[in-house]
Amino acid sequence: MGLFRTRSAAVYGIDAHLIDVEVDLYPSGSGRDFITVGMPDTAVRESRERIKSALVNSGFGYPGKAVTINLAPANVRKEGAGFDLPMAMGILGAMGRLGASEQFLMVGELGLDGSVRPVRGALPIAVCAKRAGVANIVVPAENAAESSVVEGVRVFGARHISEAVAIVDNPQNFVAHMPVAGQQTSPGGTHLDFCEVRGQTTAKRAMEVAAAGAHNVLMVGPPGSGKTMLAKRLPGILPPLTFEESIATTTVHSVAGCLSKGMSLLAERPFRAPHHTVSDAALLGGGTGTVRPGEVSLAHFGVLFLDELPEFPRNVLEQLRQPLEERSVTLARSNMTVVFPSNFMLVGAMNPCPCGYYGDPSRECRCTGAIIQRYLGKISGPLLDRIDLHIEVAALPYKEMRGNDNGVGSERMRERVLAARERQRLRGFNNSEIPSAQMRRLCALDEAGERTLEMAVRRMSLSARAHDRILKVARTIADLEGVERVSSKHLAEAVQYRSLDKSYWGS
């Protein structure tokens, strides 16, 4: 019996880093028979009780000596119960009950009966193993599917510590987990069709433009006009996730612990719709102790839907500005800085006033002018500037509500969106992400277009950012039409989607 080393990994942000778990046994008598060093948090320090019971109840016994466990490197804080399994395996190795484990990376929480429970971040941990040149990883059985999508690493799922021991001692007797494509139906998935939304032809067209260029959208209209129905159907016309996008999105959900049992990869673009009481930490990420991704990161490569937008706290909405611009969230802590991806489409919905009926010809608004301005003022100008399309979703007339003409469905809209996205893929980026250096070339205007844009900027007092976003939307409209050059009619439609700036916010 003596020194034994196993390997594990710790997740920081969406990346995992290799951790060496060194276990040493020495004669007891100091009064402290189990010491964990290397900046462990409370969950890691508490693991000694779980490990003792798990080893004894699994029939392995427990050494009659003091145990010292070092988690290296010592200058990085170790968090979570995922170190239970490698620490227990290290103790067994020091007792002479386990063979060499250099080619294994292990992670898992232990139950008192020795069962191995799932952990967060199994996918980035598998990526870490590949990067470190570790050939095999042992993870909880429920995490095996998500880990197995990483090529070049053999993934073994263990349900009990005795099974983990058998895998390390005789890996040739076990079959590595094979990746199986996951399937998740997100709210607003492809089973929801735009043909179910009666009327609202202009709003549907705007949603198609938004999907084609990955633009942000704000819908303003009275209660019951169909804003939420439109938002939930947006993912159904978006292009399917590429393999790289699926890996990136699944990684975020793995770190957050949001993957369904047995799922390997997310198959659909996420649709996140947090309630307006959400905190800034829940929306952007953070929290005490372990830093976790927020809703803006869980919506990575998907849609973030904020219903009743003015009801969200003003400070929470203002913090959306950086993710919308940078497409990432940087969270600084005293001992680390974590960056989460947040490349999402923002879809906001709101009433024109607190009662919801300002400007409605059939219902009387009970709000005073001051109340309306205070309500609208919760959405700041800088945030509005970062939203490309502003749509008015009017109340539906009775004839349209009861009519049989549902307009274009999601299938036809999706075909046009895919064609437009293909044109953008050949350029190397979506239209919402056109670099400044490429703007003049890709959004070149003829003389009529220049006049149209100049008139819009002057009359609507648009900022430089709003000017650029109008050009990007016009580029998307041209792509939907299948033409290379942006014309004045494309620009006129793009300007139309900024008209609410003037009518509601008076800017």
Answer yes or no: is 386 within a domain.
yes
Which of 421, 452, 467 is the endpoint of a domain?
421
Q: What pLDDT score does 477 carry?
A: 96
37 and 97 in a single domain? The answer is yes
Q: Which phi and psi (to 5°) does residue 187 adopt?
A: -55, 130
pLDDT tens-digit map of 183-237? 444 433 446 888 888 888 899 999 999 999 999 999 999 998 889 999 999 999 9
Q: What pLDDT score does 472 carry?
A: 95
Q: Which two tokens stand for residue 241?
A: 């996730």
Contact 121, 16 (CB under 8 A): yes
162 and 83 in a single domain? The answer is yes
pLDDT tens-digit map of 104-139? 999 999 999 999 999 999 999 999 999 999 999 999
Dihedral (CA of 296, 297, 301, 302) sign:
negative
pLDDT tens-digit map of 309-322? 999 999 999 999 99
* pTM as predicted: 0.88
pLDDT tens-digit map of 16-62? 999 999 999 988 765 568 899 999 988 898 899 999 999 999 999 99
We report the CATH number of the domain holding residue 119 as: 3.30.230.10
328 and 291 in a single domain? The answer is yes
31 and 164 in a single domain? The answer is yes
Read off the pLDDT band of 1 (50, 70, 90): low
CA geometry: angle 385, 291, 75, nearest 5 deg: 130
Q: Report the 10 Å Cβ neighbour count for 426.
A: 7
Please provide the average confidence, as pLDDT, over all residues in the chain: 88
We report the CATH number of the domain holding residue 475 as: 1.10.8
Q: What's the structural domain count of the chain?
A: 3
Which of 111, 141, 173 is the endpoint of a domain?
173
Contact 478, 490 (CB under 8 A): yes
Q: Which two tokens stand for residue 394?
A: 């009017």
406 and 447 in a single domain? The answer is no
Paired residues of 24 in beta bridges: 68
221 and 315 in a single domain? The answer is yes
Dist. CA 291–CA 421, nearest whole Å: 34
Closest-CA residue to 103 (of 166, 175, 153): 153
pLDDT tens-digit map of 365-420? 989 989 998 998 889 888 998 999 999 998 877 666 666 666 778 899 999 999 99
Is a pLDDT exceeding 90 seen at residue 507?
Answer: no
Residue with tokens 């800088």: 382
Answer yes or no: is 186 within a domain.
no
Answer yes or no: is 428 within a domain.
no
Which of 140, 173, 206 is the endpoint of a domain?
173
Dist. CA 444–CA 76, nearest whole Å: 51
Q: Which two tokens stand for residue 472?
A: 């990007």
Q: What pLDDT score does 127 carry?
A: 94
Contact 451, 476 (CB under 8 A): no
Alpha-carbon distances of 59 from 24, 52, 54, 82, 303, rounded to whole Å? 21, 11, 9, 22, 50
Closest-CA residue to 37 (of 99, 83, 105): 83
Residue with tokens 């080393």: 5
359 and 467 in a single domain? The answer is no
pLDDT tens-digit map of 12-24? 888 999 999 999 9
Contact 1, 63 (CB under 8 A): yes
| Secondary structure (H, E, C), 187-249 | CCCCCCCHHHCCCCHHHHHHHHHHHHHCCCEEEECCCCCCHHHHHHHHHHHCCCCCHHHHHHH
Q: Which two tokens stand for residue 427?
A: 């350029």
Contact 48, 34 (CB under 8 A): yes
Answer yes or no: is 354 within a domain.
yes
266 and 413 in a single domain? The answer is yes
Answer yes or no: is 184 within a domain.
no
Mean pLDDT of 326-350: 89
DSSP state of 259: P
Contact 215, 209 (CB under 8 A): yes
pLDDT tens-digit map of 419-456? 999 999 999 999 999 998 898 899 988 888 888 888 88
CA geometry: angle 180, 243, 174, nearest 5 deg: 30
415 and 311 in a single domain? The answer is yes
91 and 211 in a single domain? The answer is no
Could you write out the DSSP letters of every residue in 374-405?
HHHTTS-HHHHHT--EEEE-PPPPHHHHH-S-
456 and 409 in a single domain? The answer is no
91 sits in which H/E element:
helix 84-94
Q: What pLDDT score does 362 carry?
A: 81
Q: What's the domain range around 269?
A: 194-421
Q: What pLDDT score does 501 carry?
A: 65
407 and 494 in a single domain? The answer is no
Dist. CA 443–CA 445, nearest whole Å: 6
Q: What pLDDT score does 190 carry?
A: 47
Is a pLDDT exceeding 90 seen at residue 257?
Answer: no
Answer yes or no: is 48 within a domain.
yes
Answer yes or no: is 389 within a domain.
yes
We report the CATH number of the domain holding residue 357 as: 3.40.50.300
Q: What pLDDT score does 405 carry?
A: 63
Considering the chain, what percentage of its residues have pLDDT values greater than 70? 93
